Amino acid sequence: MANMNKRFHILFFRNAQMYLLATDIICLITFLLIPFSYGQSRLISTFHSKTPISNVEIANNTIYIGAENFLYSLNAENLTLIQSVTTGPVLDSHLCNSELSSCIGSRARLSIVETNNYNKILHRLPGSLLTCGSVRQGVCELRSLDNISRVIKNSTVAVAANSQNASTISLIDNKNEKLYVAATYSYDSPYREGFPAITTRLLYNFLPINAGSLDGEAAVHIRAEYRSRFRVNYIHAFRDEHYVYWATVQNKYVVSTAYSKKVTKLIRVCQDDDK
């Protein structure tokens, strides 16, 4: 469901199935009823987000929405707003660590400015809501399902892309407590040293599996000299058998400019890979 900088219509039909249609027109969640006879649809209920929506989760009769600077929870039956939580703009700089307690270079503190927070990851876990935004190096929080403004746990581990236009596409495996994340390379920062393109993370500490191990961790990196030019845009992720796949659009050649020819590829990792 995740899609960078796309706005969504969410359409509810009688059979209660949810369809997401990415459009660039409006941020609108609509509730439609399709009568039996004619092909006409009747609008029952709508929800307007003030800012572009990036992720949607539906669970236990609640819709959770991650948007630019906002998180929302809605009643899934009638789209009534339950809660709206502001997540940005916040003071931030990609030259500083997630807590802003240390910055690289003597003048880096001047780069701390009010920054929009784009929701990059949103998943419903068994007892909490996982949210990761583009600010503070893409760190994540676990929030209470009943009160999404209540942060149960925070972290200093960089997980999501740290800029507006860098994609982040993730899947969770609640049973094995894993989080599969692919993130487009964005700002270089000493606080994202070794940030992987694709990684399998442990759900509750957010670190790549076997992080720091000499035998290798469950992560794929793009070599430093290519990272800024070899842009991989992650579009969607899915599972099949024991694999996790990401559909991507990327430069055809590793050595190429940002505007050179693009190709579509599927990237596949084993769900159980730990190196």
Single-letter code of the amino acid located at 248: T
In whole angstroms, how close is the CB of 42 to ligand NAG at the nearest point? Answer: 16
Figure out which of the listed residues 14, 26, 80, 174 binds ligand NAG, where binding follows CB under 6 A: 80
Residue entry with tokens 């190429």: 256
Residue 46 engages ligand NAG in binding (rule: CB under 6 A): no
Q: Which of these segments, 11-19, 76-84, 192-200, 208-216, binds ligand NAG (CB under 6 A)?
A: 76-84
In whole angstroms, how close is the CB of 57 to ligand NAG at the nearest point? Answer: 13
- Of 78 and 205, CB closest to ligand NAG: 78
Element (H, E) at 254: none
Residue 164 engages ligand NAG in binding (rule: CB under 6 A): yes
DSSP state of 103: B
> Among residues 182, 87, 167, 90, which one has the least CA distance to residue 129?
87
Per rule CB under 6 A, count of chain residues that contact ligand NAG: 18
Paired tokens of 230: 């070899």
- Provide the 10 A C-beta neighbour count for residue 232: 21
142/132 Cα distance (integer angstroms): 9
In whole angstroms, how close is the CB of 4 to ligand NAG at the nearest point? Answer: 9
Residue 5 engages ligand NAG in binding (rule: CB under 6 A): yes
Residue 75 engages ligand NAG in binding (rule: CB under 6 A): yes
- Provide the 10 A C-beta neighbour count for residue 21: 10
Residue 41 engages ligand NAG in binding (rule: CB under 6 A): no
237/112 Cα distance (integer angstroms): 33
Q: What is the sign of the dihedral through the CA atoms of 211, 241, 160 and 250?
A: positive
Binders of ligand NAG in range 90-149 (CB under 6 A):
98-99, 136, 139, 146-147, 149
Which spans of this chain sit near ligand NAG (rule: CB under 6 A)?
5, 60, 75, 77-78, 80, 98-99, 136, 139, 146-147, 149-150, 154, 156, 164-165
